[in-house]
Amino acid sequence: MERVLCDPLYSARRTGGWVMRNSEDERQALCPFQRLFSRAMLFLDAPDHTRLRQVLNAGFRPTTLRAFSNTIEQMTALLMDRIVQEPQFDFMAAVARPLPAMVIAKLLGMDVDEQPGFLAWSEDLASFIGAPDPDLALKRRAQASLLKMSAAFEAMLARRRAQASCSTYQQPQQRDLISHLLQAEAEGTIETGAELLSQCAMLLFAGHETTRNLLGNGLHALLRHPEQWYRLLKTPESISNALRELLRYESPVQYTGRRVTTDIILHGKQLRRGDVIVPLIGAANRDPSRYRDPDALDVTRREGSHLSFGHGAHFCIGAALTLMEAEIVFRSLLARLPNLTLVDAEPHWNGNPVYRGLISLQVRNNHAVRLER
């Protein structure tokens, strides 16, 4: 099966694509969005997916990420310093949103003054992707944000090309993702223009959208199940296993999409070439035939992996980075803010059916709470 152009557009794609449902003038107006969005590695299959993934893999090698871990720890410590003495704060605003954005921007090689605006543009893209049937206003807003993001990257790439051609310019010791992309462009592995800009936008968007939801969803799940939180306080060395359970229990990505490439019968159902299926990741992660008591949160669970990062050729390229960020954050929370409790009885979900996450997560820092429960 092949990737669908945009996972949440499965119903529109079945009738010929979301652009085709608009008038001719509207189709023309939305062409720039289609041209950029469709070139992202996320929505491509081999051989293009393989070619682009080989380029991007260089920025996510284990050695690269290990060298980057100290930077993430410093960023995390900075954010924690601002809230450790606060009696109450919004974890999403204080840590879960800013940290992944800071991390992916640094990994890309963006300057601090280049980051403002990118978060708002990413929010518009997430709203579009998460809409099962996006209206024209939402499409136009997503297009405007993607074009602004692409223009910002185009200016950044132009500056980097000029610096690289300058004999006095010194390449950084730690090469960033932009450097890898520009090298691939120079070698002809990646095309200048839409293809290059699309990868930049995808990396920035995907690099923080799901990570922040893992942080928020994970902390919320642990604090709603305080016995699990206290278990981690006693055994913080088990955080790696706990993260796998948090990803299974409250997946940041709830579903994806695939288009059938040949007629097949799947689980007794006839599927025809061109049909679109929607694998429900969240449901698969709670499959009772796969997991014992699947609706229970158990940070000691050891029943195999989850599907929150996908599977096969399209396995999330940034999975290791996401896990590293999450482990650093949760270790810091356990060490510096062990007495957290939820403020609100009901969670403030974002309502996005694809990217499940919290709008806010108000927590209380109860210094007086004793840990030996």
Q: Cβ neighbours of residue 227 under 8 Å, at least 6 residues apart?
A: none
| Cα-based distances in Å from 320 to 111, 208, 361 | 23, 13, 25
Cα gap 322→244, rounded to integer Å: 12
Residue 276 is assigned to a structural domain of this protein: yes
- Hey, is 348 helix, strand or coil? strand
Nearest to 211 by CA among 72, 56, 88, 348: 72
For 326-372, the pLDDT digits (tens) are 999 999 999 999 999 999 989 999 999 999 999 999 999 987 444 44
Residue 372 is assigned to a structural domain of this protein: no
Give percent of the chain above pLDDT 90. Answer: 60
Residue 371 is assigned to a structural domain of this protein: no
- Hey, is 276 helix, strand or coil? strand
- b (16+ CB within 10 A) / e for 210-230: bbbbbbbbbbbbbbebeebbe
Domain of 111 in residue numbering reads as 2-365
Q: CATH no. for residue 150? A: 1.10.630.10
For 111-125, the pLDDT digits (tens) are 766 666 788 888 888
Average pLDDT, the chain: 87
- In which band, very low, low, confident or very high, does the pLDDT at 130 lie, cut at 50, 70 and 90? confident
Residue 234 is assigned to a structural domain of this protein: yes
Residue 34 is assigned to a structural domain of this protein: yes
Residue 174 is assigned to a structural domain of this protein: yes
Residue 213 is assigned to a structural domain of this protein: yes
Residue 370 is assigned to a structural domain of this protein: no
pLDDT value, residue 115: 61
Our count of domains for the chain comes to: 1
